[in-house]
Chain A
């Protein structure tokens, strides 16, 4: 292996994670699957950076490369200034990682789980107590309880405490909120925001688009590619076409009717409404109402700002 000094460190102290043209493929019995296709991005120190995309977008593979668990086929990456292949030992001292299917030791108590992960990183709960204090206080009443007997939200908090116990400079969270109820999810995100005070960089992945707005910046991922990187606001503002939300008493029939119209570009169901884009981007509310009135006179039509999901679907079409 050729050792190149410039490759092993970035001098930019503001950059916590740098990914440059990373590629990764997996061989299966019959075919070669591309997990990551030429990925590049940078994450600033202290940022909460979201990787948003469905299962199979390559989020976990990217995490594994950055946490030194896998080696990319091509490209370079640095975490906290260290190159991920050659300097993996340095990185392992500095990162916290919560894998997607991570489930702690169910038969150990809360305390014992924490003690184990502290020992793993050669530290103690006391040493970095101020960092996990706010999280730990919530689970402390159950510290003698086995992890298997905790609720989903509590488990999540315990796992986060375990990942933070050695005061990592970069924290990788792979789908931490999957399968957790809405209240616990909300609390979990609040805890993540609090960690920013300590200057920890957080990279978090999620398949749920509505969580994007809780990040500083997000990368929208699909099939091994990053479709767009921006702040959540920047992403929704980049949706240039007028977007209309339409509602009637019979949503299924309404969708069939809308899709039958020639002037329609897209129509997607969004809960109580359908989000509609016309081929002609200059339509006013009057135009929109007029066209839709051919379906029914009793429609609720209004122009709305795009959501991350609208943008994601728009990007998928390209």
Chain B
């Protein structure tokens, strides 16, 4: 036992003396959360729009005011003719233009109906969609106000509710995703690299030639990364609760337990990678290509798995991060209990045992 503790101590020396790597390992989750939280958002705020008001009456004026007053839009251009529309989009100054036809108020009052044209830059269809939806909503709102004054007999109001994430925040989606990614990187990649490094140094040969069971030295390598991962999980959760306003609805204990289970899976993967690679470069490439990309592609946090072709959906089941991502969403965002995620937990555990078993079997007591 004393022996084992010393091996762990040695790994901590390695870890703490490589300041640059250590900084990356601790800094990475923070940076990822910040990047995903603020840069990669689906929400639309203060989008710049242009107005072409061919009517210039009271109604158009108040609609424009409503648009401008909302936090979604900023009116930055008032156009005078439709010929100005094209250039302004080409220059990328605005993403949306609102066009009122001539005689807008008259038409509305006399024919009881009028048309507003919304022109959106659809090079990014998601943004175009969101913008037109918001604009429509604001105009509808205004319309119902006038209608309310006039006491119209039939009005149908649709009301939407978004469960668990009423503000449709992107962060609900990527916090679990970032957790999966960080754990994969820290555990799988770093352990495999540090084991392979011993092969490159030639120390592995000496360790093999000693009476100790080499696996013990290798398992000691995992402990620091396990702890490091737990620290990272802590910092991710703190950031998401206090900076991104993503609540933890379920039990924190359960959440941490699930993180622990997934960390073990990632460590087992790292051990497996190290048993098939001979150089740090190979270990790194396998980790990136074999772990990191599938985590992004198939866990469901960037691209919905349900929309993928069946073969890819089948493949996604082999990606541990997919199950972890599901578990974290259920526990953290929906606030469900262990009863609802035990199957996924069991799958992760089975994966861990399987990976550990083949790595131990593959782990050689000799060089060949």
Contacts and interface: CB of A to CB of B under 8 A. Distances in A.
Interface of A: 64, 67-71, 88-89, 92-93, 95, 97-105, 107-108, 112, 115-117, 119-122, 146, 162-163
Interface residues of B, number: 24
Nearest to A148: B17
Contacts of A107: 13-14, 17-18
Nearest to A168: B209
A99 B13 contact: no
A108 B208 contact: no
Given A64-B367, A119-B7, A112 B207 contact: no
B368 interface: yes
Nearest to A90: B211
A99 B211 contact: no
Given A70-B368, A120-B210, A122-B211, A100 B202 contact: yes
B167 interface: no
A71 B6 contact: no
Given A69-B367, A103-B201, A104-B203, 15 more contacts: A68-B209, A68-B366, A69-B208, A70-B367, A88-B365, A92-B209, A97-B206, A105-B201, A105-B203, A112-B10, A116-B6, A116-B10, A120-B207, A120-B210, A120-B217
B211 A104 contact: no
Contacts of B202: 99-103
A97 B205 contact: yes
B275 to A, nearest CB: 16
A108 B10 contact: yes
20 contacts: A67-B209, A70-B368, A71-B368, A88-B365, A89-B211, A97-B205, A101-B202, A102-B201, A102-B205, A102-B206, A105-B14, A105-B201, A107-B17, A116-B6, A116-B7, A119-B3, A119-B6, A119-B7, A120-B207, A122-B211
B206 A117 contact: yes
Contact of A104 (B17, B18, B201, B368): B201
Interface string B96-108: 0000000000000
Contacts of A104: 201, 203
Contacts of A97: 205-206, 209
Contacts of B14: 105, 107-108
Contacts of A115: 6
Contact of A71 (B13, B17, B203, B366): B366
B253 interface: no
Nearest to A26: B368
B69 to A, nearest CB: 60
B212 interface: yes
Interface in B326-368: 365-368
Nearest to B366: A69
A69 B6 contact: no
B224 to A, nearest CB: 14
Contacts of B365: 88
A92 B18 contact: no
Nearest to A93: B211
Contact of B13 (A101, A102, A112, A162): A112
Contacts of A99: 202, 205-206
Contact of B366 (A70, A95, A103, A112): A70
Contacts of A69: 205, 208-209, 366-367
Interface in B303-341: none
Contacts of B207: 120
A67 B368 CA distance: 13
B113 to A, nearest CB: 77
Contacts of B217: 120
